[in-house]
């Protein structure tokens, strides 16, 4: 199945279910094609190069794989259009990171919640900051049209009578952040996870207020006969995904960097992407291709190591773009550590070696994060942390569990009992967190180039464009 096949809306199709609403689950069982509508956004569904990605996509694909279905993804460019597809029975379900509203709960079937979102109010640094709910009054506040945040603000009008807001009819909260950055809106309300992930692209934006509530997120199904069978089956899958750790694994993969976000770090990185990266990107891409790596990963590691400075040198004697030790450089056949090509090749080769040497049963992306930790702290110390994790009832195959134990390698009550002794475990944690942050930022920047565009509004174009003469087709 070609997952790049995306159908714009409106869909000029007959109803998916034929003449009878009773066929909704029978159709799925007969042809094995699960049709889902979602949003094109960094937190739901997008293309990273030629690979489909996003939290919702990965969870959907896991469900489809578990049931032997073929997944077909449709993209709605506004929540209004997404609701319309559901309402008209054109899809089996929506999976768009949508919090439950009272209106949708009455209108659609909802799966058991699989995530919670915490709405936050954001503003542009340097402008007037709202410090309490009352400060939202008489401010230009925007929300995603059709989202739960309109209902949330509606519930605040009793205590804040002067509260007003605008709904922006787009499918992606990046547009809200763009409007606040450009000062075409003062404030915006969006989920904390979405903001923290996307803040990397808009480091001037700050979360001013946490609205202090948790909104459950669920998949939505058309409320027609037979859909309840699909809902029951999805709920079984979600329950199993929680028990097995699959849900936590997917969440950590996509949102694991958000809690480590540094606004100043993101701002500095973005500036250096503009000023320094163009000089080094061709070489980084060439070396990454040689070693079958994502060039953005190699760029992230080299930035963490040297800030793309080929002559960088630390007080401990490591030097070069990838900050190799003299011993490691010799093992990797790097003669001149200050030669950027040699250094990048050596660092890429080192990462590949570490990936190969880790236990075979450590899966991605945990394998990559552990390899990067080993790049910083050594495989021996990483293994000590994995052993400590297992002794404490944690999973030594999950990066989040190993990450939590790495700081113990500098605890004088613990490190004498390990095989390889003392290590700066906190530094290894920060090292990997930073690289993940930089890597994620570069991925988001690439996303803008591959963004799925909404359908062209011909009528709107005609109304705003000068008159032209179109020759008749022969």
Q: What is the pLDDT of residues 300-358, one digit of tens each?
A: 999 999 999 999 988 778 899 999 999 999 999 999 999 999 999 999 999 999 999 99
Contact 56, 95 (CB under 8 A): yes
pLDDT at 258: 52
> 50-55 long-range CB contacts below 8 Å, 24 or more apart?
50/4, 52/3, 52/4, 54/254, 55/97, 55/250, 55/251, 55/253, 55/254, 55/255
- CA contacts within 13 A on the Cβ side of 50: 1
pLDDT classification of 13: cutoffs 50, 70, 90: very low
Tokens standing for residue 432: 């990997």
Q: Distance (Å, rounded) from C-alpha 227 to C-alpha 445?
A: 39
Assigned CATH class of 119-213: alpha beta
Is pLDDT of 6 > 80? no
Q: Could you give the percent of the chain with pLDDT greater than 90?
A: 61
Which pLDDT value is given to residue 132?
A: 93
Res 53 pLDDT > 60: yes
Would you state the pLDDT for residue 380?
A: 93
Q: What pLDDT sits at residue 166? A: 95
Annotated active-site positions, please?
305
**Per-residue pLDDT at 263:** 62
| Selection from 288, 271, 261, 316 nearest residue 122 by Cα | 261
- Do the domains spanning 21-112+217-255 and 263-448 agree at the CATH topology level? no
Residue 293 has pLDDT above 90, yes or no: yes
> Alpha-carbon dihedral of residues 105, 108, 113, 115, nearest 10 degrees?
-90
Q: What is the pLDDT of residue 257?
A: 62
At 87 the three-state DSSP class reads helix
Query: pLDDT tens, 117-136?
Result: 999 999 999 999 999 999 99
Half-sphere exposure of 226 (CA within 13 A, CB side): 14
CATH fit for domain 21-112+217-255, picks 3.40.50.1100, 3.40.190.10, 3.40.1500.10, 3.20.20.10: 3.40.190.10
The separation between the first and the last C-alpha atoms of the chain, rounded to the nearest angstrom, is 37
- What is the C-alpha to C-alpha distance for residues 246 and 234, in angstroms, rounded to an integer? 14
Task: Give the pLDDT score at 10.
Answer: 34
Q: How many residues does the chain have?
A: 474
Report the pLDDT averaged over residues 450-459: 49
SS3 292: coil
* pLDDT for res 383: 96
Helix and strand counts by DSSP (H, E) for the chain: 19, 14
Reply yes or no on whether the pLDDT at 200 is more than 50: yes
pLDDT at residue number 128:
94
- Which residues share a beta bridge with 188? 122, 142
Confidence at residue 451, expressed as pLDDT on a 0 to 100 scale: 55
Supply the pLDDT for residue 449: 55
Q: What predicted TM-score, i.e. pTM, was given to this entire model? A: 0.71
Average confidence score pLDDT of the chain? 85
> Quick one: tokens of 27?
């159709």
Highest mean pLDDT among 131-140, 191-200, 224-233 belongs to: 131-140
Q: Report the interhelical angle of 55-67 vs 246-255 (nearest 10°).
A: 150
Strand pairing category for 187-191 and 166-168: unpaired
CA distance 334 to 370: 24
Residue 245 φ/ψ, nearest 5 degrees: 90, 0
CATH class (in words) of the domain with range 263-448: mainly alpha
Sheet containing 141-144, strands listed edge to edge, beginning at the edge strand earlier in sequence: 166-168, 141-144, 187-191, 119-124, 205-210
Average of per-residue pLDDT across 233-252: 93
Q: What was the pLDDT predicted at 50?
A: 65
pLDDT at 14 over 50: no
Question: Would you say residue 49 has pLDDT above 80?
Answer: no
How far apart are alpha carbons 340 and 348 in whole angstroms?
12
Q: Report whether pLDDT(176) > 90.
A: yes
pLDDT given at position 77? 85
Q: Would you say residue 95 has pLDDT above 80?
A: yes
Average pLDDT over residues 455-470: 39
Give 5's pLDDT tier (boundaries 50, 70, 90): very low
Question: For residue 10, is the peptide bond before it cis, meaning its omega torsion is within 30 degrees of 0?
Answer: yes
Determine which of 6-20, 301-315, 449-463 has the lowest per-residue pLDDT on average.
6-20
Q: What is the pLDDT of residue 185?
A: 96
Q: Which of 153-162, 255-264, 347-356 has the highest mean pLDDT?
A: 347-356
CA 333, CA 13: separation in Å to the nearest integer? 61
Confidence at 470, pLDDT banded by 50, 70, 90: very low
Please tell me which of 187-191, 208-212, 257-261 the model is most confident about, judged by mean pLDDT: 187-191
Taking the CA atoms of the chain, what radius of gyration do you get in angstroms?
25
Across 21-29, average pLDDT: 66
Q: Which 8-state DSSP code applies to residue 248?
A: H
Q: Is the pLDDT of residue 405 over 70?
A: yes
Token pair 């495989």 in the structure block, residue: 379
- The residues spanned by each domain of the chain are 21-112+217-255, 119-213, 263-448
pLDDT, position 465: 36
Whole-angstrom distance, CA of residue 7 vs CA of residue 73: 8
**Those residues with Cβ within 8 angstroms of residue 429's Cβ, 6 or more apart along the chain or in another chain:** 373, 403, 406, 407
The pair of structure tokens assigned to 280 is 């080094």
């Amino acid at each position: 199945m070609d997952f790049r096949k995306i159908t714009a809306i409106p869909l000029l199709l007959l109803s998916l279910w034929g003449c009878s609403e009773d066929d909704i689950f029978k159709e799925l069982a007969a042809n094995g094609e699960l049709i889902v509508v979602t949003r094109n956004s960094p937190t739901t569904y997008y293309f990273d190069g030629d690979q489909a990605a996003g939290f919702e996509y990965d969870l959907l694909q896991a469900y489809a794989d578990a049931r032997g279905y073929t997944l077909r993804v449709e993209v709605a460019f506004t929540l209004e259009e997404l609701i319309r597809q559901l309402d008209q029975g054109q899809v089996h379900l929506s999976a768009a990171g949508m919090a439950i509203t009272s209106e949708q709960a009455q209108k659609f079937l909802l799966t058991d919640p699989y995530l919670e979102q915490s709405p936050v109010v954001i503003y542009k640094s340097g402008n007037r900051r709202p410090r309490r709910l009352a400060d939202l009054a008489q401010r230009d506040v925007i929300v995603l049209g059709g989202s739960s945040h309109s209902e949330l603000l509606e519930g605040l009008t009793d205590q804040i009578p002067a509260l007003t807001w605008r709904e922006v009819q787009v499918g992606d909260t990046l547009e809200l952040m763009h409007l606040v950055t450009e000062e075409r809106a003062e404030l915006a309300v969006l989920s904390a996870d979405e903001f923290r992930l996307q803040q990397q692209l808009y480091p001037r934006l700050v979360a001013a207020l946490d609205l202090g509530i948790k909104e459950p997120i669920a998949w939505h199904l058309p409320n027609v006969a037979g859909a309840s069978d699909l809902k029951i089956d999805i709920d079984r899958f979600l329950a199993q995904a929680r028990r097995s750790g699959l849900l936590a694994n997917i969440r950590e993969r996509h949102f694991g960097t958000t809690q480590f976000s540094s606004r100043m770090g993101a701002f500095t990185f973005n500036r250096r992407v503009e000023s320094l990266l163009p000089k080094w990107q061709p070489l980084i891409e060439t070396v990454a291709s040689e070693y079958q790596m994502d060039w953005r990963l190699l760029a992230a590691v080299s930035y963490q190591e040297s800030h793309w400075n080929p002559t960088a040198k630390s007080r401990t004697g490591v030097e070069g773009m990838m900050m190799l030790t003299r011993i490691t450089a010799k093992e990797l056949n790097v003669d001149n550590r200050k030669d950027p090509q040699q250094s990048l090749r050596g660092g890429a080769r080192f990462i590949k070696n570490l990936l190969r040497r880790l236990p075979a049963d450590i899966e991605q992306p945990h394998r990559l994060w552990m390899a990067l930790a080993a790049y910083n702290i050594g495989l021996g110390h990483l293994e000590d942390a994995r052993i400590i994790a297992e002794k404490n009832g944690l999973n030594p195959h999950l990066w989040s569990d190993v990450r939590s134990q790495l700081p113990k390698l500098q605890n004088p009550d613990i490190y004498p009992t390990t095989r390889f002794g003392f290590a700066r475990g906190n530094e290894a944690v920060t090292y990997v967190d930073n690289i993940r942050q930089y890597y994620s930022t570069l991925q988001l920047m690439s996303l803008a180039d591959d963004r799925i565009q909404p359908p062209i509004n011909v009528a709107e174009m005609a109304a705003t464009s000068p008159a032209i003469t179109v020759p008749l087709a022969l």
